Amino acid sequence: MRSFQFVFWITFLFIYILISLSSYRATLNLIGKKNLKGIFFSWSALILFFMVALYIWPGNIRNTENYALYFIFNGILFIDLCFKLLLSFSYLGGLFLQKRKEIFSWFGMIISAGMVILLLQGIFVGKNNSEVKSIDIKFNELPERFDNYKILHISDVHLGSFIFSKKILQDLKKQITAIAPDLVLMTGDLVNNFFYELDGYEEIFSEIAQSAVSFSILGNHDYGNYSNWDSDVDKKNNFDSLILAQERFGFNVLRNENCVVKEGNDSIYVIGVENWGHPPFPQYADMEKALEGVPENAFKVLLSHDPAHWDSDVKGKKNIELTLSGHTHGLQWGIKPAGIPFSFSYLVRKNWGGLYKWNGNSYLYVNSGLGTVGAPWRIDMPAEITVITLKRIKVDRE
């Protein structure tokens, strides 16, 4: 694994240097001032220095608790890369059409500047915007008392990302009264790594959890696997403290288990599994254990953090009417060709966001999350608060 990471970073640094050189040449074609060379390459050298210091130097990223530094640097790095990459393409175009190389350079500069503005908008505006998505899902065999039953679904809070603004969580708190949910379901990644990220948010999450019957599960970030620990005991204490905090707020934390929810004489089962994802993500889910005691003909709502689990182990294999997931964040960057939401996350996973249906009466809903991870922005992919209303379209069979 270490040899792979070494090769990856060497390749990345080599490509970055090539991009920097070609983008400099494109800039030179436009401005023609070689005295910019010192400024241009000093900036690039500074970026390389921080890249090595933060990401390549042994253990730095896994030992960090300074999320702010990484968010700031990631924003600068991505903006720098996008700007230089687009300029590089324009420079390469100019090499093939020498007589029009200045036109290519101007075109690259304009597109690069536009991209920088878009990324800055995503950092300072888009990251702090949220959207309530309301969706009705119809089921043939929904118990009668659960007709028009309202589920509030949130996911991927990543509290470590709310360093500079708490606006989204404050908006969520305000929305609770208007939504008036019957059930609150949270599908993992409450924190980035550490339980103390919850400090200062106790009131918000207590109000959320106590607004209705509430359940939560764990996501890949909740296990503390992305940090180095002084001992296994410290890691376990961090994990146990996160579980206890959620329970103190009022969430029932489901770890490969289930719970019945009743309305009068009718009932549904909420089933929660631990994280399951394709490698390198951990596979802790135990579906058989989670389904113990659940009648085959019961209406079931499954909470599983990674939607890959539905595709691999649920769809066509288990009689589960509704699965709720998160994890993808929609890559925190979306577009809407012809008004249809799309994310480049689709290139690596087909179930990246929204509602999916399988074989008539089995659904998956993927929430694009509240927080951010890695890139510190949301571009046309606002933080999501999902309100799912269950609809009954057919009386139960006698």
Query: Does any domain span residue 157?
Result: yes
Name the pTM for this structure: 0.92
Specify the pLDDT at position 40: 86
Do 320 and 302 form a contact (C-beta atoms < 8 A)? Answer: yes
Tell how far CA 38 is from the center of its chain.
39
Which of helix, strand or coil describes residue 398?
Answer: coil
Regarding whether 92 and 72 lie in a shared domain, the answer is yes
- Residue at which a domain ends, from 124, 151, 170: 124
Region 353-366: mean pLDDT is: 92
Q: Where are the alpha helices (DSSP H) in 33-66?
A: 36-51, 60-63
- Give pLDDT tens digits for 364-377: 999 999 999 988 99
- What is the rounded radius of gyration, in angstroms, for the C-alpha atoms of the chain? 24
Regarding whether 49 and 150 lie in a shared domain, the answer is no
Query: Does any domain span residue 79?
Result: yes
- Residue at which a domain ends, from 98, 124, 150: 124
Residues 6+ positions from 128 with CB-CB distance below 8 Å: 165, 167, 168
Quote the number of domains for the chain.
2
Do 180 and 387 form a contact (C-beta atoms < 8 A)? Answer: no
Regarding whether 312 and 195 lie in a shared domain, the answer is yes
Q: Which two tokens stand for residue 391?
A: 């609809």
Query: Does any domain span residue 197?
Result: yes
Regarding whether 187 and 58 lie in a shared domain, the answer is no
pLDDT bracket for residue 210 (50, 70, 90): very high
Specify the pLDDT at position 224: 95
Q: Are strands 300-303 and 130-139 parallel, antiparallel or unpaired?
A: unpaired
Query: Does any domain span residue 397?
Result: no
DSSP state at residue 344: G
Query: Does any domain span residue 190?
Result: yes
Question: How many Å apart are CA 327 and CA 368, to the nearest integer?
Answer: 7
Regarding whether 337 and 209 lie in a shared domain, the answer is yes
Regarding whether 180 and 41 lie in a shared domain, the answer is no
Question: How many Å apart are CA 293 and CA 186, to the nearest integer?
Answer: 23
Q: Which of 154, 237, 241, 230 is nearest to 197 (CA)?
A: 241
- Tell whether the model's pLDDT for residue 324 goes beyond 80: yes
Residues in the chain: 398
Specify the pLDDT at position 350: 86
Q: Where are the alpha helices (DSSP H) in 52-100?
A: 60-63, 67-96
Regarding whether 242 and 271 lie in a shared domain, the answer is yes
Question: How many Å apart are CA 317 and CA 32, to the nearest integer?
Answer: 64
Tell how far CA 313 is from the center of its chain.
21
Regarding whether 223 and 140 lie in a shared domain, the answer is yes
DSSP line for 295-332:
-TTS-EEEE-SSTHHIIIIITTTS--SEEEE---GGGG
Which of helix, strand or coil describes residue 265?
Answer: coil
Q: Which domain holds residue 57?
A: 2-124
Question: How many Å apart are CA 353 and CA 330, to the nearest integer?
Answer: 6
Regarding whether 166 and 47 lie in a shared domain, the answer is no
- Residue at which a domain ends, from 101, 124, 147: 124
Residue 152's H or E segment, with its range, is strand 149-154
Regarding whether 144 and 13 lie in a shared domain, the answer is no
Residues 6+ positions from 280 with CB-CB distance below 8 Å: none
- Tell whether the model's pLDDT for residue 392 goes beyond 90: yes
Regarding whether 45 and 186 lie in a shared domain, the answer is no
Query: Does any domain span residue 302?
Result: yes
pLDDT bracket for residue 333 (50, 70, 90): very high
- Tell whether the model's pLDDT for residue 147 goes beyond 70: yes
Q: Residue 360 belongs to a domain with what CATH number?
A: 3.60.21
Query: Does any domain span residue 183?
Result: yes
Q: Where are the alpha helices (DSSP H) in 161-213?
A: 167-179, 202-209
Regarding whether 219 and 292 lie in a shared domain, the answer is yes
**90 vs 183, higher pLDDT:** 183
- Give pLDDT tens digits for 7-51: 888 888 899 999 999 888 888 877 766 677 888 889 999 999 999
Query: Does any domain span residue 398?
Result: no
